[in-house]
A and B are shown apart, each in its own frame.
Chain A
Amino acid sequence: LNAVKSTVAGAATMEKVTEYKDATSYNNYYEFGTDKADPAQNAHTLKTSPWTVEVDGLVKKPGKYGIEDLVKLSAQEERIYRLRCVEGWSMVIPWVGYSLANLINKVEPLGNAKYVEFLTLADPKTMPFVGSRVLDWPYAEGLRMDEAMHPLTLLTFGMYGEVLPNQNGAPVRVVVPWKYGFKSAKSIVKIRFVEKQPGTAWNKAASNEYGFYSNVNPNVDHPRWSQATERRIGEDGLFAKKRKTLMFNGYEAQVGQLYAGMDLKKNY
């Protein structure tokens, strides 16, 4: 996957990149199992070609995009982002893709489009855990329009210079680096523009634990653990004190103004 270095502010952290082996063997992708080793073992059944992404809802130009056209819609960039999981671990991953804003501008959302909803594949034939009662399927996620338009929000096709491995959300996913990992929906089949805040998978499953915004925030604890610190996978030794989690996962300079005046304790 050919990619140029991104010029977007905050797009390339200088931190040590997580080993490919760890980034592709320690995943949360519940359609393929709830253990973090499951997706790498089970996701080979996912068929990523042919693949279409439907764009509809409140847009002037709705349409269906074959994955090969979607890849070519804009120049692919490499972005090295921190990834902070709500569970308290983190990685640094070099993603390949382009700003979701490029696609959004192309389809021309209407004035009343306030949110973007992402619907992901839920195919019980290829995804063994679709149908389990863990979550409502299909896995749905959403962003406010200004979040979706932020240049750091990446429509992602690859990582480590290669096409996305299935367990990491092939063939196309979003990556929203200042939010907990589960906000970054994998294997997207539909992008819908809507007026009302869409229901999201984890919020529906446990609204007291997972909010719509789910911005990385060391000051707002998860009910069952602190979010003040995190363990960097593959880097922080067993007995190392966990590292401090940064506000907005370290992207405060870029995204802080999106939430000016909002009570982030309430809008967690």
Chain B
Amino acid sequence: MQTATRALLHPAAKPLVFVLSLLPFCWLLYGAITNQLGANPAEHLIRSTGDWTLRFLCLTLAVTPVRTMAKLPALLRFRRMLGLFTYFYVVLHFLSYSGFDQAFDFGEIAKDIAKRPFILVGFAAFVLLTPLAATSFNRAIKALGAKRWQALHRLVYVIAGLGILHFFWMRAGKHNFAEVAVYAAILAVLLGWRVVNWLRSTKRVVRGGAAHPTPVRSRS
């Protein structure tokens, strides 16, 4: 365990994760320039950037459970970067859709968002993720205060739900749910772990409280 922690704390660890996180983008860019993205590169770029958004969302949400269960507190160092990469890929996803699908015609984009629930849900997730990305600086955390910052960042659970709903709806017409099920299962485990963890900790609090009953509580 100590070697793992030492590796996570190594000065090269963060740059390494950064470069790895950037690889999908580099690969897509290279593929687009060299025309290696198949017969419909626009569709490939839109879908791939969506896939990578979901993957980074899962990675970000995995940090806390893994760090707790594996007793690797040093993992926390990477959470902000992974979260920001989620935002990076969702921005690329939105730009790909706007550019390749709608030729940056913002009137058409607005109509499309209003008309189609699956686009609306995806767009809502993107919009909700924006304040989270925007408050990822130390100064923003300080300005908000830790409690308010944490409350705001709990939005990520709603965003995860919207993201998976967006993917589900997109695939619904083709009854093609295999991949959706994989992401949904991963997210369910990651969020379910939090629920279990929270229930356990409240029980502990309640038990602790019962040993020292306060007059206020006993009256209510």
Contact = CB atoms under 8 A, between A and B. Distances in A.
Contacts of A231: 40, 42
Contact of B100 (A26, A34, A233, A239): A239
Contact of B169 (A205, A206, A224, A239): A224
Contacts of A239: 99-100, 103
Contact of B103 (A133, A209, A233, A241): A241
Given A134-B174, A135-B175, A238 B40 contact: no
A241 B105 CA distance: 9
Contacts of A206: 172-173, 175
A233 B173 contact: no
B196 interface: no
Interface string A67-83: 00000000000000000
A238 B32 CA distance: 9
A25 B39 contact: yes
Interface residues of A, number: 28
A242 interface: yes
A226 interface: yes
Interface in B115-141: 115-116, 118
12 contacts: A89-B43, A134-B174, A135-B175, A205-B174, A206-B172, A222-B173, A224-B116, A224-B173, A226-B112, A233-B40, A241-B105, A242-B101
Contacts of B175: 133-135, 205-206
Nearest first, the 4 A-B pairs at minimum CB distance are A26-B39, A22-B39, A241-B103, A134-B175
Nearest to A35: B176
A234 interface: yes
Interface in B31-61: 32, 38-43, 45
Nearest to B170: A224
Interface string A8-26: 0000000000000110011
A222 B174 CA distance: 13
A223 interface: yes
Interface in B131-165: none
Interface of A: 21-22, 25-26, 34, 36-37, 89, 133-135, 205-206, 209, 221-226, 231, 233-234, 238-242
Contacts of A21: 39
A133 B41 CA distance: 28
Contacts of B169: 224
Contacts of B112: 225-226
Interface string B82-122: 00000000000000000111010100000010011010000
Contacts of B39: 21-22, 25-26, 36, 233-234
A221 B112 CA distance: 11
Contact of B118 (A224, A234, A238, A242): A224
Contact of B173 (A36, A209, A221, A234): A209
Contacts of A234: 39
Given A89-B43, A135-B175, A226-B112, A25 B103 contact: no
A238 B116 contact: no
Contacts of B99: 238-239
Nearest to A234: B39
A5 to B, nearest CB: 27
A242 B100 CA distance: 9
A85 to B, nearest CB: 10
B217 to A, nearest CB: 53
A252 to B, nearest CB: 25
Contacts of A135: 175
A49 to B, nearest CB: 28
Contacts of B170: 224
Contacts of B176: 34, 134
B35 to A, nearest CB: 10
Given A25-B38, A34-B174, A135-B175, A223 B116 contact: yes
